[in-house]
Structure 1
Amino acid sequence: MTAIPERAATDNTVRLCTTRIQPSLELPASVGTLAEFAMEPLGWPGSVLAPMKLMGRRVVPVAELLPDAHAERLCVGSAPVLDRAEVATWVWPEMVDRVPPPAARVTGVLAPARHWRSALTAAVPFARFTNAAIVVPRSVSDGRDFVSACLIRARQFGVAVLSADAESVRVELEGRSFEDAPPAEPTAVSRWVSEVAYDRLLACEAPAPSHS
């Protein structure tokens, strides 16, 4: 073998070896840091919760405490309920007046990932009932298939798309906003996610107040 990069010698014949340099697909910062940076362009109210797994997906929820409902639950000693099977019964018609009110509102779910396919897979299930966004490395957003594949799919589901490098976060696609939309009908999933957010907000020293 010769000492010249990208060149090999075999039987006195020099053969050129072409090597494509793949762009880095690493996130430029921690998931939590990217979530904090993304809040300004996204404009979601509430507290950025710690990264967690919800429904098997690694995401960062943003939520705010609902003071009136929280006070009501404190009065009756109704703590957050994290048992998903139990919460699933709360949307049954016969349970309407027998379950605690939601004391937290999830204002958005962010899914940072190294590739847009993984990020969308994580974010789309939440886009049915709250704001959703993904964050990918800037090198991914500069890829040839990004506009023709990622942005088209994200637009179909109303998911915002952001790209990040070591210095900034840039909005590539605005997502659907739930701020001015009528409240979505609660589902077993949305109620359970609300309870998880409520539990995390209570664990925070100073959760952000509600804007409602």
Structure 2
Amino acid sequence: MDGSTVRTFAVPAVADTLGRPLHDLRISVTDRCNFRCTYCMPKEIFGPDYAFLPRSEVLTFEEIERVARVFVGLGVEKLRLTGGEPLVRRDLPVLVEMLAASRRPDGTALDLTLTTNGSALRRLAGPLAAAGLQRVTVSLDSLDDAVFSAMNGVDYPVAKVVDGIAAAVEAGLGPIKINMVVRRGINEASVLPMARWARNEGLILRF
């Protein structure tokens, strides 16, 4: 049996509490993130002294691949890599290549995607695509730097995220979806500018 073969199991496909088969698996490759979004990892809680998981307790790439293969054997068809921020995990394209080598029991390729804040996407879009990643979803809450900073808790230029999205488009990681969280009193005025921008760029904006 070669490294890409998936063993099927003589048990029912994995299902939710209502008995519906589950075909998607989200894999958190790290609990760390370089942003401190107010709705996700607020700096008041995730400050400098916050105790993240010891690195020895984070699954290795080999362990993640093994878990993924088990779930593929139980009927999972789509893998989504998340975090924290997955792109802060060192050598992530190596893991993507390992997962992309897996096949469903019928021999077809898995649907392999990733959700990111886009901060490292300009540098990694090409290597990720070459490794076998198919699509990315980017979290972006405003095109205005001040509003963006108010939402993500750090001083990071929106332009760098936009450049990363452009790099992902160029690398063929589309159709690209943009996740926007809207908070009253902070970024609701950014909804229409975001919608216009997404439409002009051929991106899928979701709230």
Query: Which structure shows the higher strand fraction?
Result: 1
Q: Given the two structures, how large is their TM-score scaled by the length of structure 1? A: 0.30
Compare relative contact order (CA 8 Å, sep 6+) and give the higher one, 1 or 2. Answer: 1
TM-score by length of 2: 0.31
Greater radius of gyration (CA) = 1
